[in-house]
Homo-oligomer: A and B are copies of this chain.
């Protein structure tokens, strides 16, 4: 039946992407265990190839096709596939819309999208319309229209879209999830998170290397600086909210008994990028980029209010010299965890008014069952192993035809931070209201990983 549906979808879309689906085509929810997931990749730059590597490691994945317009990315991918001794997939390389041809022609069950941000939503939407599970890199959407496009397409097709937020699977994040689910923090009241990452050498390079070595961006640059820096130039918003927000949304059961209600955002002055260009050996006052005015404030601070009364402090901080941090805090009536200080306090368990060092005590004791089970498989995977888990969750959902744990409503609600923060900042901090992307379903949906053994992953 599942196959029929996909065949129908492909036929329906033969006349071009943009078909509208009958809502009667319901997505089958019954689990059927399957041997292999048939996966394609759109975008095999640095990030996409890191996913490719994980997929090549798996015996339950067949890589059907790969799409990219950069010959270097394609060559590097071919080499990886060859060296892994896997069957060479089909390649789609002709132009920016070749991915649509791939979605239509190939017998795909899921596609992993690791392209510049502007392509995330069009590609996810097209994948869903072709009956292919969309696994989309973060952020999923960059404006409110795109958020709704994701939701509307999912609701029309019932083909899932998973936001590939790897930080939800970080080992400490999952240990804290385990503790949250076991009520160790009591009633949750306040959260902090953010993306505090000195990206100056990601936003600028010399056109030859991935990171640094110059102050170029756009056409003269290489890799991410080619397209990503433009968002710092042209938008005053939290342009990359999900790494800091995803885990907190999971703790707070957002879209599952709770939801984001409103947000205020304030931007600091933006002087970091200009300062970097001025003081770089390859930059200086006479460099053309020294006259560019970057719209993005150096530190964007947002406060989100949730339906159940919790508040979330969210920070975007990528233009200043600083070591990496996701700034997590989880705080309730019975305890508090702070990631940067590696501190935890649990009422009646830690000494009164004193901290325990979190990593050495409670995070070990409450190591999540998923991590215990898959620790070996995760070893060597990107970002300390968490990339294994997010890809694993996607592949399992594809194989079993189940809903992924992080879904289209999460993608929409988390991504909505970008346009809402932009509006709030422009209005001097005026509160902005979140759309209810679930259209009321948040009241009835169940939290993920409610029991550590819940969901598809075990």
Contact = CB atoms under 8 A, between A and B. Distances in A.
A320 to B, nearest CB: 6
B345 A343 contact: no
Interface in A168-219: 186-187, 189-190, 198
Interface string A302-329: 0101001111010001001111100000
Interface string A255-295: 00000001010111101100100000000000000000000
Contacts of A342: 341
A340 interface: yes
A85 to B, nearest CB: 37
Contacts of A190: 268, 298-299, 301, 317
A334 B262 CA distance: 34
Interface stretch (A75-83, A144-152, A220-228, A424-432): A424-432
Contacts of A308: 269
A231 interface: no
Given A266-B311, A298-B189, A431-B428, A271 B333 contact: yes
A331 interface: yes
Interface in A343-391: 343, 345, 347, 353-355
B345 A321 contact: yes
Number of copies of chain A assembled together: 2
A417 to B, nearest CB: 15
A311 B267 contact: yes
Nearest to A187: B271
A323 B344 CA distance: 9
A436 interface: no
Between A262, A303, A343, A347, the greatest number of chain B beta carbons within 10 A of the residue's beta carbon is seen for A303
A309 B271 CA distance: 10
A429 B427 CA distance: 12
B323 A347 contact: no
A338 interface: yes
A332 interface: yes
A429 B428 contact: no
Given A189-B268, A430-B431, A311 B323 contact: no
A107 to B, nearest CB: 44
Contacts of A298: 189-190
B301 A321 contact: no
B186 A275 contact: yes
A336 interface: yes
Contact of A268 (B275, B310, B323, B343): B310
B321 A333 contact: yes
A218 to B, nearest CB: 23
B345 A429 contact: no
Contacts of A355: 323
A189 B316 CA distance: 13
A431 B425 CA distance: 11
Contacts of A334: 321
A313 B313 contact: yes
B303 A321 contact: no
A110 interface: no
A322 to B, nearest CB: 5
Contacts of A431: 264, 428-430
A322 B336 contact: yes
A266 B269 contact: no
A264 B429 CA distance: 7
A335 interface: yes
Contacts of A430: 429-431
Contact of A340 (B268, B272, B331, B343): B343
Given A189-B320, A268-B309, 17 more contacts: A189-B268, A189-B299, A262-B428, A264-B303, A266-B311, A267-B311, A269-B309, A269-B310, A271-B333, A313-B313, A320-B332, A321-B333, A321-B334, A321-B345, A323-B353, A323-B354, A341-B342
Query: What 4 pairs across the A-B complex have the smallest Cβ distances?
Result: A269-B309, A429-B431, A341-B341, A190-B299
19 contacts: A187-B271, A187-B275, A189-B269, A190-B299, A262-B429, A264-B264, A264-B266, A264-B429, A264-B431, A313-B313, A321-B333, A321-B335, A321-B345, A321-B347, A323-B354, A324-B353, A338-B341, A340-B340, A340-B343
